[in-house]
Amino acid sequence: MHEQARDFFGRHTDVTLAALGSAANREHLDLMPAGVPAKFFAAEEHPSLVERYRDANALAFPGDLTLPGWVLSDLYLLPGAIGLLVCPGRFLEVPTRKRLNLHPDDVAIAAAYYAAPTVVPRTFIGVSLLSLVPKILAGAWVKALSLKMMRAERLRGVAQWASPAVRVHTRMGPLRVVSSVPGTHEFRAKSFVYESDLEDADAWNRAMARRTSGEPDEKIPSADTERLAELCARAEAGERIFVVPPGLDAGGRVLVRFGG
């Protein structure tokens, strides 16, 4: 992945990698993920950057999904670190810049990712991914490099079957379907729990390079909630089912492979 990362940042020289978290977490991070230098910002010393992250998150997730300040402090910054791609404000499109009240020379957040640590060592839960710069694959890179900064070996998360974010999630490799979503998640009926094996470096590198490994066994319309719910039930019963890169085809069908 080092060569791919060099290529990405070589083409987008205004974009740099950073991490934002409690000062005590710095020593536990890899601040050279895939050979990319990351600047660490202690949240206690950079309150304006914390506010800019919260504003960017609110722009990406309005309404019911807006991030409360106490959750940001207690559950993001204290236990872990948010991976950021930062850039000058002029790198963002004008409507986005205006909504964030940014001057063209201000430091802006182009993309951000947070995964929460769990009781299982090196296992994380994907929580929040946002990208405010279209067409440069910022979402895939901030997610990949954030996970490497946190030395993650396994990732679980919740994704909506029809969401374009599935294409980003499958840049980490095939998504093993784990189950339906527990609890009272707002989008439970159209979502699933997935797992990424980040120790399979070869699969991860192929997925980041968009090199697919064969045709899927089935292509299921993302609106077919009954069929997709059946996949979750089968996965819960022990069957190995994967959503394979790129996750969705041009028609919005979910690309599924069985076994393996």
What ranges do the domains of the chain cover?
Answer: 1-115+125-151, 153-260
Q: 154 near 117, Cβ under 8 Å?
A: no
* Bridge partner residues of 84 (DSSP): 18, 112
**pLDDT of 30-89, one tens digit each?**
999 999 999 999 999 999 999 999 999 999 999 888 999 999 999 999 999 999 999 999
> Is residue 248 a contact partner of residue 222, using CB atoms and an 8 Å limit?
yes
% of the chain with per-residue pLDDT over 70: 97
Range with lowest mean pLDDT among 83-87, 121-125, 162-166:
162-166
186 pLDDT band (50/70/90 cuts)? low
Average pLDDT, the chain: 94
pTM of the full structure: 0.93
